[in-house]
Amino acid sequence: MTDFPDTTETFPEQETTQTEPTIITVGEGAGTGGQELGYDVVIGNGLLARLPQLIGHQAERVLVIHPRALRATGDVVREDLEKAGYQAMVAEIPDAEEGKHIQVAAFCWQVLGQNDFTRSDAVVSVGGGAVSDLAGFVASTWLRGVRVVHMPTTLLGMVDAAVGGKTGINTAEGKNLVGTFHQPAGVLADLDTLISLPRNELVAGLAEVVKCGFIADERILEIIESSPEQAQNPHSEQLRELIIRAIQVKVDVVSKDAYESGVREHINYGHTLGHAIELAERYQWRHGAAISVGMVFAAELARSLGRIDDDLVDRHRNILTSLGLPITYRDDRWNQLLEGIRRDKKNRGDTLRFVLLNGQGQPATVEIPDASILFAAYQEIGEPASPTISL
Ligand SMILES: NC(=O)c1ccc[n+]([C@@H]2O[C@H](COP(=O)([O-])OP(=O)(O)OC[C@H]3O[C@@H](n4cnc5c(N)ncnc54)[C@H](O)[C@@H]3O)[C@@H](O)[C@H]2O)c1
């Protein structure tokens, strides 16, 4: 497998250009979150002062949920909310997937209960997708739904998890099997938080950005092609533009299909094989790395069905490789992967369904009548298993 960037490295300090924030509105008008679409996603630098605006004045108490790794940021958010006149408290939860457990949700419900949170009070998530999924779930279930504002601090959180209202926790049987649809009352994507994000987390998030390029916005691909280095630099104008564009793609899709019954499936481009790889690797691969391979597989599948040409397949490989993302997977795991593919939520009965491209920016959900077609495409991405794989 292509080497994945080092796990601890972050970007060196640099001056970040301060510009006016960009605001993308999801749905129409100002909603209150919950079942209603109608909220702002604010993207920019130094956005903390805008948090009260998104929380609203009816809330008296605010619970800030953050993982241990973001204690300092969580404290700053809490202090700022206190200064703005809220009664603010924090719930520190275990990091990453460890936080997406029913026991952690129960701990948060306990904090809400002990502090007399009412229906007009609010929850704020500070962290990556794991935290927004858990905090969203807690907010959607407390008193049958209170407001939640997400402050995503990972690239994946900004361009994907915090927008769209899906919440989730894991069970012993699998990831995200329990969850709700609960729209946030607002999302604050403060680009300054990405400076401390390990480089491999940033690159993994870029896989979702590339996905948005292939399914909808070609300009995303052009920006990365013109400078893959700047695309990975949290201080760069290029990354800012990529984030804004990727969020816009997600918002466009979610606005058409809030409950994932139709076009929202397209946002799952690359995810069918990607999820199967994550399962086969027992979630030791980053999601972004797995869907990177999944996108190349989907491109090969589309080519074999005569839907796209060689150039578009090559474009997948070139862009993903330029970011250091993997594009191959071990060739001795097909049966295991096929089992994972059969569990995909897009399938209907025994019919396998994949999101494929009919051309650049033209996704469609396609029924695959015969698994042998998949196996043939897999031959194009398989490589001999090596004992020296590095992640
Ligand atoms: N609800 C949705 O629509 C949706 C969509 C995509 C993914 N998800 C979920 O999102 C989760 C993955 O999200 P993720 O990739 O953000 O992972 P994550 O939330 O686990 O965060 C990754 C790691 O980065 C650390 N971190 C976060 N922000 C940091 C920062 N600014 N500086 C330094 N470290 C930081 C975290 O503590 C964690 O260790 C999965 O659970 C997935 O199921 C949900």
The DSSP annotation for 317-368 comes to HHHHHHTT----EETT-HHHHHHHHHT-TT-BTTBEEEEEESSTT-EEEEEE
24 belongs to a structural domain: no
* CB 128, CB 96: distance < 8 Å: yes
Same domain, 7 and 35: no
Which residues are designated catalytic? 144, 166, 208, 250, 260, 264, 268, 271, 275, 287
Task: Tell me the pLDDT tens digit for each residue of 151-196.
Answer: 999 999 999 999 999 999 999 988 999 999 999 999 999 999 999 9
Task: Tell me the pLDDT tens digit for each residue of 131-149.
Answer: 999 999 999 999 999 999 9
What are the structure tokens assigned to 383, written together? 């490589």
User: For residues 137 and 166, what is the distance between their CA atoms, to the nearest angstrom?
Assistant: 8
User: For residues 183 and 164, what is the distance between their CA atoms, to the nearest angstrom?
Assistant: 6
**CATH code of the domain covering residue 69:** 3.40.50.1970
User: For residues 313 and 297, what is the distance between their CA atoms, to the nearest angstrom?
Assistant: 9
130 is in an annotated binding site: yes
pLDDT at residue 90, as a whole number? 98
Q: 111: domain range?
A: 31-197
Same domain, 10 and 48: no
* CB 205, CB 74: distance < 8 Å: no
Residue of 41, 71, 97, 133 best suited for mutating to test ligand 1, as the one with most atoms within 8 Å of CB: 133
Res. 80 pLDDT band, cuts 50 70 90: very high
Evaluate if residue 391 carries a pLDDT over 50. Answer: no
How big, in percent rounded to 5, are the helix, strand and coil portions of the chain? Answer: 45, 20, 35
User: For residues 238 and 226, what is the distance between their CA atoms, to the nearest angstrom?
Assistant: 10
**DSSP label of 166:** B
Measured in angstroms, how far is the CA atom of residue 158 from the centroid of ligand 1? 9
Same domain, 42 and 118: yes
98 is in an annotated binding site: yes
Nearest one of 87, 84, 89, 77 to 53, comparing CA atoms? 84
Measured in angstroms, how far is the CA atom of residue 161 from the centroid of ligand 1? 8
Q: Is the CB of 128 under 6 A from ligand 1?
A: yes
pLDDT > 70 fraction of the chain, expressed in percent and rounded: 92
pLDDT at residue 11, as a whole number? 61
Same domain, 359 and 282: yes
Choose one of 155, 182, 197: the last residue of a domain.
197
Q: Which of 97-106, 169-178, 343-352, 362-371 has the lowest mean pLDDT?
A: 343-352
Choose one of 167, 197, 227: the last residue of a domain.
197
